[in-house]
Structure 1
Amino acid sequence: MVTFFEASLGKLSIHRVGNKSQEEFYVLSEEPLNIEDEVLSNLLLQYFLKPFEKVNEVYHFMHSSDNLGLNEVYHFATSIFEDLAPFHENTEHLAKYLYEISSHPKIKAGELYVVMFHNVQIEGELLDAIGIFKSETKETFLKVYPGDKGFRMEYEQEAINIQKLDKGCLIFRTEKEAGYKVVVTDQTNRNSEAVYWKDEFLKLQIRNDSFNQTNNTLGIYKNFVSTKLDEEFDLTKADKIDLLNKSMKYFKEKETFDMDEFSNEVIGNPQAIESFKNFKNSYEQEFDTEIPESFEISVPAVKKQARVYKSVLKLDRNFHIYIHGDRELIEKGFDDGKNLNYYKVYFKEEE
């Protein structure tokens, strides 16, 4: 989704933000950091941008009042895009704002980096982007180097591992009226306290484009088959795998999703179709995300979901059966003599 082989690093300001509830305060630098070392510049590009290569979801800024100007990060990002001269001053505002919402007791103190990038690619378009990153986790590193009588060793405490970016977002200079294109990562916290970065600080909402529509629909259907169907129908695991395989086949072969067509071709049973539509409606209401009745299918989203769609039937610890085709060629039964379940598989020839 995001590539940076043509990217360059522009302005960079660093501040430190503590936990307000722990009375750790914040520390603001007086001026931007001037990076003249080419090696350091390349290392920073790797540290800041590489984690976004595997990020697929694209968000946009939002505000509960529908007035984007009231979203603080959107406001300061717009100020930076429109005039780079007060760049450092705007980064100070961002640090102060992050400090104000860092009140959960488990939020760690750390350095805040605000960076201006040029020529970062997203969805095939080269754009300027503002990066906002926070490093919270520190590690100890050993350094071994030649000495007079062999080798010497030193260590560096409270250092940053450039392979592990804790938190970050990239704000791309496009689609301003819709809240910009934004990608986000948070590797340190996946619990309730993690919401402060994406939901409280950035206030993001997932963009409802073909990628997310495809990804969400496949995800909803997978959850429906895996959890909801058991409550209403007597299905074997092989039946569930067959339903998942049919849905993946539909998305791989079609260019456009149509709810009625999908329901009839993949699900078939009228009661199950009604149950799926209700399940989808509940998701839309819970996450405030509308999925239209028809949309263009995104190939990258299908590939992403294909990696988590299971077609393996696990039988105790003895056998794994991979089901890829005709469900009618596998039968389930029970052997009274052995007091065991069994599957009978039909085939024409071994390969």
Structure 2
Amino acid sequence: MMNFDTCEINNIVIHDIGNKYEDGQIRLSESCFLPDDADVHNLLKSYFLSPFKKDAYYRFAPVEDDLYNNLVYSTVSSVFEDESNLYEASVNIAQHLFDQSNHPNIKAGELYMVHFKNCVLEEGPCDAVGIFKSETKDTFLKIILNENSYQLESERGINIKKLDKACLVFNVDGENGYRVSILDKTNSSEAVYWTTDFLGLEQCDDNYFQTSNYLKLCKDFVQEVYNQENDIPKADQIDMLNRSIDYFKKADVFNENLFKDEVVNDPQIINAFEDFKNYYEEKNELSLKDQFDVSNSAVKDEKRFFKHILKLDKNFHVYIHGQKKYIEKGYDSARDMNYYKLYFREEN
């Protein structure tokens, strides 16, 4: 779990990165700086660090089997070796980012490279290097008191609650590509540009990765196989999703055999699930373990993508959180309509 309570900004460099595709330019600042004002320091700290809440970690991927061929890895390593290298490292990073900004959808913006002290991970305190890009500008109204009357002026600036792209590299496990956390508020095609093309990252195969992907497997199985096209009622689909997420919420350790017995249950469905798992692993180029420690943060992150709503025409939305045995589906021939019968003890 990341903790930034004791973290302090040690140094900052800012450069301006244009869109190379549109003949934009790169403008480099001449030096590092550190704000003297404590309020500005705290605002910047909040702007850079507050969006990082997930425990999904990445690492730098080797290029041609050598981590030092990964430009961002080798550049960040130079800062961890000697913090006075920050400015030179930022120039290399700025040029690399500019070279990757060769697509009409990539926005121009400011690049920040920041050296942090005293970030805390599970392993203890560590330094970190942050690479941030701000692209979105907002309009603000400024109130000016002129003698005894007020006037308004508009200004364009950065909204400190909207960080567009970010990467935080912790000085932990450097020989394996460091511990890296990322943020990208843009679409998936731009995420490839930021995460893969520019940073050269791959996700760590840890408990968060395993938990997150197994829950995605369950969700995709229900959507693509255990669905109405294969004569599975919508209520049964929701029940399968509910039982899947409940298993992970209650289990400290995931065991695939227990999961299939308790959640999937039916032998025919288990066979279909196993076939789909093989397809999911091949499609996503990953390997899911049959036993791992459950990541509670991954369960929390993935739970919001599990839908529990049964939509009936335009008249009713039924939220199903309980067990399937408390809901029955039927058909009324007199009305020529389907119906659901719900069983409950108390009405709130």
TM tier relative to shorter chain? over 0.9
Identify the residue that residue 7 of structure 1 maps to in structure 2.
Answer: 7
Q: Does 1:277 align with 2:254?
A: no
CA distance in structure 1 between the aligned counterparts of 2:282 and 2:118, rounded to whole angstroms: 38
Aligned to 2:126, the other structure's residue is in SS state strand
Code of the residue aligned with 1:299 in structure 2: it is N
Code of the residue aligned with 1:143 in structure 2: it is K
Identify the residue that residue 340 of structure 1 maps to in structure 2.
Answer: 337
Is the alpha carbon distance of 1:285 and 1:123 closer, same or farther for their aligned partners in structure 2, counting shifts above 3 Å?
Answer: farther
Q: Does 1:234 align with 2:266?
A: no
Is the alpha carbon distance of 1:28 and 1:244 closer, same or farther for their aligned partners in structure 2, counting shifts above 3 Å?
Answer: same
Code of the residue aligned with 2:277 in structure 1: it is K
Q: Does 1:42 align with 2:39?
A: no
Code of the residue aligned with 1:40 in structure 2: it is V
Normalized against structure 2, the TM-score is what?
Answer: 0.93
Q: Does 1:253 align with 2:250?
A: yes
CA distance in structure 1 between the aligned counterparts of 2:211 and 2:188, rounded to whole angstroms: 26
**Kept in 2: contact 1:208–1:289 (CA 8 A):** no
Q: Does 1:61 align with 2:60?
A: yes
Code of the residue aligned with 2:309 in structure 1: it is V
Code of the residue aligned with 1:183 in structure 2: it is S
Which runs of 5 or more residues in structure 1 are unaligned? none
Deviates more, 1:271-280 or 1:90-99: 271-280
**Kept in 1: contact 2:253–2:293 (CA 8 A):** yes
Code of the residue aligned with 1:68 in structure 2: it is L
Which runs of 5 or more residues in structure 2 are unaligned? none
Is the alpha carbon distance of 1:197 and 1:27 closer, same or farther for their aligned partners in structure 2, counting shifts above 3 Å?
Answer: same
Is the alpha carbon distance of 1:320 and 1:125 closer, same or farther for their aligned partners in structure 2, counting shifts above 3 Å?
Answer: farther
After TM superposition, list the pairs within 5 Å mapping 1:215-226 onto structure 2.
215-226=212-223
Is the alpha carbon distance of 1:109 and 1:334 closer, same or farther for their aligned partners in structure 2, counting shifts above 3 Å?
Answer: same
Alpha-carbon shift at residue 191 of structure 1 (Å):
4.0
Code of the residue aligned with 1:149 in structure 2: it is N
After TM superposition, list the pairs within 5 Å mapping 1:34-183 onto structure 2.
34-53=34-53, 55-123=54-122, 125-157=124-156, 159-183=157-181
Alpha-carbon shift at residue 76 of structure 1 (Å):
0.4
Listed one character per residue, the Cα deviations across residues 23-65 of structure 1 (whole Å, up to 9, x for unaligned) are: 2121111211232111111111111111113x33211111353
Aligned to 1:200, the other structure's residue is in SS state helix
Aligned to 2:244, the other structure's residue is in SS state helix
Alpha-carbon shift at residue 250 of structure 1 (Å):
1.8
Identify the residue that residue 22 of structure 1 maps to in structure 2.
Answer: 22
CA distance in structure 2 between the aligned counterparts of 1:11 and 1:75, rounded to whole angstroms: 19
Listed one character per residue, the Cα deviations across residues 146-186 of structure 1 (whole Å, up to 9, x for unaligned) are: 331221322223x1111111111100010112211111111
Is the alpha carbon distance of 1:108 and 1:326 closer, same or farther for their aligned partners in structure 2, counting shifts above 3 Å?
Answer: closer
Alpha-carbon shift at residue 349 of structure 1 (Å):
5.4
Is the alpha carbon distance of 1:332 and 1:296 closer, same or farther for their aligned partners in structure 2, counting shifts above 3 Å?
Answer: same
CA distance in structure 1 between the aligned counterparts of 2:154 and 2:93, rounded to whole angstroms: 33
Aligned to 1:119, the other structure's residue is in SS state strand
Identity percentage over the alignment? 44
Deviates more, 1:58-67 or 1:86-95: 58-67
CA distance in structure 2 between the aligned counterparts of 1:318 and 1:246, rounded to whole angstroms: 27
**Kept in 1: contact 2:63–2:69 (CA 8 A):** no
CA distance in structure 2 between the aligned counterparts of 1:291 and 1:66, rounded to whole angstroms: 24
Listed one character per residue, the Cα deviations across residues 83-140 of structure 1 (whole Å, up to 9, x for unaligned) are: 1122211111111111111111221121111000112234574321100011112222
Alpha-carbon shift at residue 82 of structure 1 (Å):
0.6
CA distance in structure 1 between the aligned counterparts of 2:346 and 2:265, rounded to whole angstroms: 31
Instruction: State how many pairs are aligned.
Output: 348
Is the alpha carbon distance of 1:85 and 1:203 closer, same or farther for their aligned partners in structure 2, counting shifts above 3 Å?
Answer: same
Alpha-carbon shift at residue 251 of structure 1 (Å):
1.6
Aligned to 2:13, the other structure's residue is in SS state strand
Aligned to 1:44, the other structure's residue is in SS state helix
CA distance in structure 2 between the aligned counterparts of 1:322 and 1:140, rounded to whole angstroms: 40
Code of the residue aligned with 1:169 in structure 2: it is C
Is the alpha carbon distance of 1:204 and 1:231 closer, same or farther for their aligned partners in structure 2, counting shifts above 3 Å?
Answer: farther
CA distance in structure 1 between the aligned counterparts of 2:138 and 2:273, rounded to whole angstroms: 48
Code of the residue aligned with 1:36 in structure 2: it is D
Identify the residue that residue 187 of structure 2 maps to in structure 1.
Answer: 190
Q: Does 1:298 align with 2:295?
A: yes
CA distance in structure 1 between the aligned counterparts of 2:164 and 2:327, rounded to whole angstroms: 47
Aligned to 1:32, the other structure's residue is in SS state coil
Aligned to 1:75, the other structure's residue is in SS state helix
Alpha-carbon shift at residue 252 of structure 1 (Å):
2.4
Aligned to 1:278, the other structure's residue is in SS state helix
Aligned to 2:83, the other structure's residue is in SS state coil
CA distance in structure 1 between the aligned counterparts of 2:63 and 2:276, rounded to whole angstroms: 26
CA distance in structure 2 between the aligned counterparts of 1:304 and 1:10, rounded to whole angstroms: 32
Aligned to 1:2, the other structure's residue is in SS state coil
Aligned to 1:137, the other structure's residue is in SS state coil
Aligned to 2:225, the other structure's residue is in SS state helix
**Kept in 2: contact 1:215–1:301 (CA 8 A):** yes
Aligned to 2:226, the other structure's residue is in SS state helix
Alpha-carbon shift at residue 292 of structure 1 (Å):
0.7
